[in-house]
Amino acid sequence: MSALRVGVIGTGMMGEVHARLLSERIGSARVVAVSDPDAGRRRAVAEAVGADEFDDPMGLIATPGVDAVVIASPDDSHAGFAVAAVQAGKPCLCEKPLATTVTDARSVVDAEVASGGRLVQVGFMREFDEGHASLAALRLSGALGEVVAVRSTHVNPAPWAPGVSAERVITQSMIHDIHSARLLSGAEVESVSASAVPFAAGSPEVDAGAVRFVSARLDLAGGAVALLDVNVSSAYGYRVVAEVIGSEGTARTSEGSAVDMWSSGARVAKVSANWPEHFSAAYLTELTAWVAAASAGGATGPSAWDGLMANVVAGALVEAVSRGERVEIPRAERPALYER
């Protein structure tokens, strides 16, 4: 079978990671086209992987020489490109979040349902992380009994300068934890509440309104709860830990360190510096699964429906933080296309 010819839209940090993994580590794919308004970044990635440059991302999607598309441009451009890919009948891996509004996310779901089959995979790559995948499989096996609670801890080393609002923490970072909570519980979210811890007034390093910690509670259909927190300024590195607490047992992703060190009266285990290092294996597994599914004309893993639900829950959490109240989530009918 000939290699899948991939076009990459957005050649910033994430687009370059995907383009290099596809071209250097996945024999069944070739990056043939890239598009980015930043001509310098576009050229650097095009030369590194031997791809043609496109000024217009819509032209890249339409070109007959591109079989499938990776969307790694800024968040608010994702939905338009995903709809165009679906309408062209081309599979796409769309980075998270699927959209920045529920309306835009819904437009991708509607386009995909109209096309009659799955073409969109959303970049919630934790689904391809060994620890998260094992937890999800354990829950499905029944070994943990009924899910009582899901807990997740997400730690970033430092806020993006000059600090981030609670809205950005939720829509750009906690959105991964929202997807994990749905995946690990197998339940939809019915209502949410949340709070944020701001930096001290007058902190020199951040803007007013920047927060250092967001904590959320998701009440799930069936009575279980998900407790999520994101710390955006750990000062020590990056961590993600997920835990499923069940009626018959509890399981948690382990924080394995290749080496523990004993020195100066302390035992030290290395933590990842940041997410590219922590999830490097997951990105490769994600892309490998995507290429296999896209080569067969479809998609696998996190769907446009998952992307839409994550947008709905994130929007409700933003509202919950700003109002200081619990926010109900209206029930939505899941199209048959998205049964797992």
- List the structure tokens of 56: 């217009």
Q: From the CB of 13, what's the least distance to ligand NAD, in Å?
A: 4
Q: From the CB of 50, what's the least distance to ligand NAD, in Å?
A: 19
- List the structure tokens of 146: 């009924």
Q: From the CB of 94, what's the least distance to ligand NAD, in Å?
A: 9
User: On the CB side of 110, how many CA atoms lie within 13 Å of its CA?
Assistant: 8
Residue whose C-beta lies closest to ligand NAD: 12
Whichever of 239 and 334 has its CB closer to ligand NAD, that residue is 239
Whichever of 160 and 338 has its CB closer to ligand NAD, that residue is 160
Cα–Cα distance, 58 to 338 (Å, whole number): 27
Q: From the CB of 334, what's the least distance to ligand NAD, in Å?
A: 23
List residues binding ligand NAD (CB under 6 A): 9-15, 35-38, 41, 57, 72-75, 77, 95-96, 123, 125, 172, 275
Whichever of 36 and 219 has its CB closer to ligand NAD, that residue is 36
Residue whose token pair is 């923490």: 169
224 touches 187 (CB < 8 A): yes
DSSP symbols for 118-167 = --EEE--GGGGSHHHHHHHHHHHHTTT-SEEEEEEEEE-SSPSTT---HH
What is the amino acid identity at position 149? A
Whichever of 11 and 193 has its CB closer to ligand NAD, that residue is 11
Q: From the CB of 95, what's the least distance to ligand NAD, in Å?
A: 4
Beta bridge partners of 246: 147
Whichever of 73 and 193 has its CB closer to ligand NAD, that residue is 73
71 touches 47 (CB < 8 A): no
